[in-house]
């Protein structure tokens, strides 16, 4: 369909979003040149897991919540561990924190490599997907697979498996990786870092729409460097708060068109994820990553979601560099885990999943039985902002054909890398025009 | 999970992959098939067959490297009766899986099985022979176990794979 959208009643509807983790749908209603209604429909599994965890033992959430997402299991494990350890009044030793950070690097490497090269690059190069792109840009895809494999192998060495790590427990790990196991990863990580640096001119050479948005950004900030496995809450409004204050600022509301809860920070839409992390933590980037950011033309802030591919590439370089630094500095640990005896209480944990801040809260009794759980994933926090973006974007681009506008809306949504769920089956694109 | 293969030299190197998540109802069909095939292969003393359970179809591109025959078991939805088992040849020289019937998890941002196989084909990494064993599934809810008809389909899929291995 080539007709434009400036008169009459139109619906842009994508029942299933291709190349979005899980099953999502988009619905935009345009009436006489005005965007009337925007819904991003999300099927969200954490609600199921919150109910499923009540009555279970306090040691179980790292394994159970890891299964919420095939892309960011480490994030679920790390936030769960922090929250439960907080409830029990235990802080793990620094060696364990460092090993958690190393494992997290693996997840960022895997996730960002996939998103940059397999999802976002095809959109910017005008391909339907990675397969079509691979026919013309074979080396780019081969490079992406090598970088992703470096992340996989790091996850396997530290987490026990490349998907759904099994080595994480409350208090630490079941088993420490040996020096030899970690040292073996180094050449591969160094090569992957070179390949990621080589990708900077490619990703920064794409054409991006002018779409700077006045977002409120929320991320962690950490004395231990660019935030991953721990930190405190910071916003672009100047707020600094402990993770335990998350619930005082973030209110989740149920909306009719989605299983997911919509979040607001002090009453307004906000954004978590690479753009927020980058803007709030630019100074903490590794020197190589900051050099890459400068070479790409990014300033110390980024407010255009279409340019998130550059920010992810900078973060990919950071994660690879950080993994190498952690391996080089690894001196072992006296024990794989510290005891975390149960006690009645409530605990909070937040870490930076590849796609943004992931918050967990647990309330347990004296015997360690879980009484109450809250899991707030990045995508539900971003949902209001994504819908706001779509509203602005569609309104400004009504001159485009229905098909082109629908395609560009999908591209806009994918820039957030929404982790809607770990789906099991079809993502079937169905464009409807009324 | 990778089952330890105790491989001896054989006429061809074979990989059996069970794709899917154990926690998502009928999506467990693939890993369940892999587990049963592993046990059967071990009991028969066949040692040139490696059996793997996986949730990430993108990894297939690397995983399949060096194998002559790859058999992939996965839950599918095509409209057939639950538990129906279908075999498709998708290796070098064969047609791609129809996109509409892309089975299996899109747990890597939508790069499902059909896409992963086509990516391998585009990169000239597709093995000589690849067989997709689909088990028609109905229920993908979190926390559910295999539905009865799909459990029956799993047994049929295991037989079909053992037949293929014998052939």
Domain boundary assignment for chain A:
9-44+385-432, 46-381
Contact B106, B58 (CB under 8 A): no
Q: How far is A151 from chain B (nearest CA, A)?
A: 12
Supply the mean pLDDT for chain A. Answer: 88
pLDDT at A418: 76
Contact A282, A311 (CB under 8 A): no
Q: How far is B159 from chain A (nearest CA, A)?
A: 24
CB pairs under 8 A between A and B: 112
Fold exhibited by the domain A46-381: Cytochrome-c3 Hydrogenase; chain B (1.10.645)
pLDDT at A7: 57
Task: Give per-residue burial for A149-187: e unless 16+ CB within 10 Å, then b.
Answer: bbbbbbbbbbbbbbbbbbbbbbbbbeebbeeeebeebee
Query: What whole-number percentage of chain B has pLDDT above 70?
Result: 85
Q: Is B151 helix (H, G, I), strand (E, B) or coil?
A: helix
pLDDT at A14: 56
More confident residue, B143 or B155: B155
Tell me which chain A residues have a C-beta less than 8 angstroms from the C-beta of B58.
Answer: 114, 118, 148
* pLDDT of residue A45 exceeding 70: no
Q: Is the domain defined by B14-166 classed in CATH 3.40.50.1450?
A: yes
Would you call A196 exposed, middle or buried from its count of C-beta atoms within 10 A (0-12, 13-18, 19+)? buried
Q: How confident is the model at residue B8 (pLDDT cuts 50, 70, 90)?
A: very low
**A71 contacts chain B (CB < 8 A):** yes
DSSP 8-state code for residue A160: S
* pLDDT of residue B67 exceeding 70: yes
User: Of the candidates A303, A241, A300, A302, which has an alpha carbon nearest to the alpha carbon of residue A266?
Assistant: A241
Least confident of A267-281, A299-313, A343-357, B95-109: B95-109
**A141 contacts chain B (CB < 8 A):** yes
Query: What whole-number percentage of chain A has pLDDT above 70?
Result: 87
Tell me which chain A residues have a C-beta less than 8 angstroms from the C-beta of B115.
Answer: 129-131
Q: How confident is the model at residue B125 (pLDDT cuts 50, 70, 90)?
A: very high
Mean pLDDT of the region B22-46:
90
Nearest residue, CB atoms, B115 vs list A129, A152, A423:
A129
**B108 contacts chain A (CB < 8 A):** yes
Kindly determine whether residue A45 and residue B142, on different chains, have CB atoms separated by under 8 Å: yes
Tell me which chain A residues have a C-beta less than 8 angstroms from the C-beta of B96.
Answer: none
Most confident of A2-6, A35-39, A120-124, B136-140: A120-124
Least confident of A23-32, A181-190, A215-224: A23-32
Tell me which chain A residues have a C-beta less than 8 angstroms from the C-beta of B125.
Answer: none
**A427 contacts chain B (CB < 8 A):** yes
- Is residue B73 within a helix (H) or strand (E), and if so which, with residue range? strand B69-76
Strand-by-strand arrangement of the A345-353 sheet: A345-353, A356-364, A370-376
Q: Is A406 helix (H, G, I), strand (E, B) or coil?
A: helix
Tell me which chain A residues have a C-beta less than 8 angstroms from the C-beta of B107.
Answer: 21, 69-71, 163, 422-424
pLDDT at A416: 81
Q: How confident is the model at residue A432 (pLDDT cuts 50, 70, 90)?
A: very low
Q: Which residue of A has its CA nearest to B118?
A: A131
**B74 contacts chain A (CB < 8 A):** no
Kindly determine whether residue B56 and residue A162, on different chains, have CB atoms separated by under 8 Å: yes
More confident residue, B27 or A12: B27
Q: How far is Cα A135 from Cα A77, in angstroms, rounded to an integer?
A: 37
Contact A181, A157 (CB under 8 A): yes
Q: How confident is the model at residue B34 (pLDDT cuts 50, 70, 90)?
A: very high
Nearest residue, CB atoms, A135 vs list B20, B107, B122:
B122
Q: How far is Cα A170 from Cα B132, in angstroms, rounded to an integer?
A: 39
User: Of the candidates A159, A184, A34, which has an alpha carbon nearest to the alpha carbon of residue A101?
Assistant: A159
pLDDT at A433: 32
Q: Which residue of A has its CA nearest to B109?
A: A21
Residue A408 makes CB contacts below 8 A (sequence gap 6+) with A393, A397, A400
Q: Which residue of B has its CA nearest to A144?
A: B58
Tokens standing for residue A229: 């496995």
Nearest residue, CB atoms, A163 vs list B27, B56, B110:
B56
Find residue A261's DSSP bridge partners. Answer: A254
**B24 contacts chain A (CB < 8 A):** yes
Kindly determine whether residue A138 and residue B118, on different chains, have CB atoms separated by under 8 Å: no
Mean pLDDT of the region A152-170:
89
The model's pLDDT over A189-204, given as tens digits with 9 standing for 90+, comes to 999 999 999 999 999 9
- Cα angle A24, A29, A32; round to 5: 160
pLDDT at A262: 79
Q: How far is A249 from chain B (nearest CA, A)?
A: 30
Q: How confident is the model at residue A44 (pLDDT cuts 50, 70, 90)?
A: low
The model's pLDDT over A102-148, given as tens digits with 9 standing for 90+, comes to 999 999 999 999 989 988 898 889 888 888 899 999 999 999 999 99
Nearest residue, CB atoms, B107 vs list A70, A135, A417:
A70
pLDDT at A138: 94
Q: Which residue of A has its CA nearest to B117?
A: A131
Contact A132, A194 (CB under 8 A): no
Helix axes B113-122, A138-159, angle to 10 degrees: 130
Q: How far is Cα A76 from Cα A84, in angstroms, rounded to an integer?
A: 12
Residue ranges of domains in chain B: 14-166
* pLDDT of residue A410 exceeding 60: yes
Q: How far is Cα A98 from Cα A84, in angstroms, rounded to an integer?
A: 18
Least confident of A256-265, A320-329, A376-385, A415-424: A415-424
Kindly determine whether residue A425 and residue B23, on different chains, have CB atoms separated by under 8 Å: no
Kindly determine whether residue B112 and residue A427, on different chains, have CB atoms separated by under 8 Å: yes
More confident residue, A27 or A346: A346
Q: Of B99, B106, B120, which to mutate for an interface test with A (greatest number of A Cβ within 10 Å)?
A: B106
Q: How confident is the model at residue A21 (pLDDT cuts 50, 70, 90)?
A: very low
Residue A156 makes CB contacts below 8 A (sequence gap 6+) with A162
Alpha-carbon A152 to chain mean position: 17
| Furthest C-alpha separation in chain B | 42
Mean pLDDT of the region A59-83:
90
Q: How far is Cα B91 from Cα B68, in angstroms, rounded to an integer?
A: 10
């Amino acid at each position: 369909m080539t007709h434009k959208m400036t008169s009459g009643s139109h619906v842009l509807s994508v029942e299933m979003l291709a190349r979005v983790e899980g099953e999502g749908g988009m619905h935009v209603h345009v009436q006489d040149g005005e965007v009337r209604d925007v819904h991003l429909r999300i099927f969200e599994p954490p609600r199921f897991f919150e109910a499923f965890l009540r009555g279970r033992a306090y040691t179980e959430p790292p394994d159970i919540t890891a299964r919420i997402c095939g892309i960011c299991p480490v994030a679920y494990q790390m936030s769960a561990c922090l929250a439960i350890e907080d409830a029990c009044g235990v802080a793990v030793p620094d060696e364990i924190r460092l090993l958690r950070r190393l494992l997290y690097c693996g997840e960022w490497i895997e996730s960002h490599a996939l998103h940059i090269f397999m999802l976002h690059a095809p959109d910017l190069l005008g391909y339907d997907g990675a397969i079509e792109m691979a026919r013309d840009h074979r080396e780019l895809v081969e490079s992406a697979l090598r970088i992703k494999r470096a992340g996989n192998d790091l996850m396997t060495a530290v987490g026990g498996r490349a998907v759904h790590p099994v080595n994480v427990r409350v208090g630490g790990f079941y088993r420490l990786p040996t020096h030899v196991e970690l040292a073996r990863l180094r050449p591969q990580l160094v090569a992957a870092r070179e390949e990621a640096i080589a990708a900077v001119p490619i990703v920064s050479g794409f054409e991006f729409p002018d779409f700077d948005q006045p977002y409120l950004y929320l991320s962690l900030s950490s004395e231990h460097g660019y935030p991953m496995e721990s930190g405190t809450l910071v916003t672009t409004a100047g707020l600094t708060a402990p993770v335990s204050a998350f619930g005082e600022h973030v209110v989740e509301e149920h909306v009719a068109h989605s299983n997911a809860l919509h979040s607001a920070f002090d009453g307004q839409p906000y954004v978590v994820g690479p753009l927020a992390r980058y803007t709030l933590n630019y100074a903490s980037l590794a020197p190589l990553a900051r050099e890459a950011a400068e070479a790409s033309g990014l300033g110390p802030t980024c407010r255009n979601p279409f340019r998130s591919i550059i920010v992810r590439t900078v973060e990919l370089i950071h994660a690879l560099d950080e993994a190498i630094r952690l391996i080089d500095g690894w001196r072992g640990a006296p024990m794989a885990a510290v005891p975390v005896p149960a006690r009645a209480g409530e605990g909070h944990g937040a870490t930076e999943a590849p796609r943004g801040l992931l918050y967990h809260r647990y309330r347990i009794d004296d015997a360690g039985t879980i009484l109450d759980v809250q899991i707030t994933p990045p995508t539900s926090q971003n949902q209001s902002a994504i819908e706001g973006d779509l509203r602005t974007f569609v309104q400004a681009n009504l001159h485009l054909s229905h098909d082109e506008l629908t395609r560009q809306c999908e591209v806009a949504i994918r820039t957030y890398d929404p982790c809607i769920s770990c789906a099991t089956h079809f993502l079937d694109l169905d464009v409807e025009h009324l | 999970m990778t089952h330890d293969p105790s491989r001896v030299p054989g006429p061809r190197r074979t990989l059996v992959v069970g794709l899917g998540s154990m926690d998502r109802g009928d999506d467990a069909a693939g890993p369940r098939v892999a587990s049963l095939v592993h046990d059967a292969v071990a009991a028969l003393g066949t040692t040139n067959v490696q059996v793997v359970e996986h949730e990430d179809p993108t990894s297939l591109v690397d995983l399949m490297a060096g194998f002559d025959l790859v058999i992939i078991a996965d839950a599918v939805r095509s409209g057939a009766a639950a538990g129906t088992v279908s075999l498709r040849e998708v290796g070098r020289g064969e047609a791609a899986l129809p996109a509409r019937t892309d089975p299996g998890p899109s747990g890597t941002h939508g790069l499902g099985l059909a896409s992963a196989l086509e990516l391998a084909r585009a990169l000239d990494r597709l093995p000589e022979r690849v067989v997709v064993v689909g088990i028609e599934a109905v229920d993908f809810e979190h926390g559910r176990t295999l539905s009865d008809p799909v459990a029956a389909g799993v047994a049929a899929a295991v037989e079909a794979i053992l037949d293929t291995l014998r052939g």
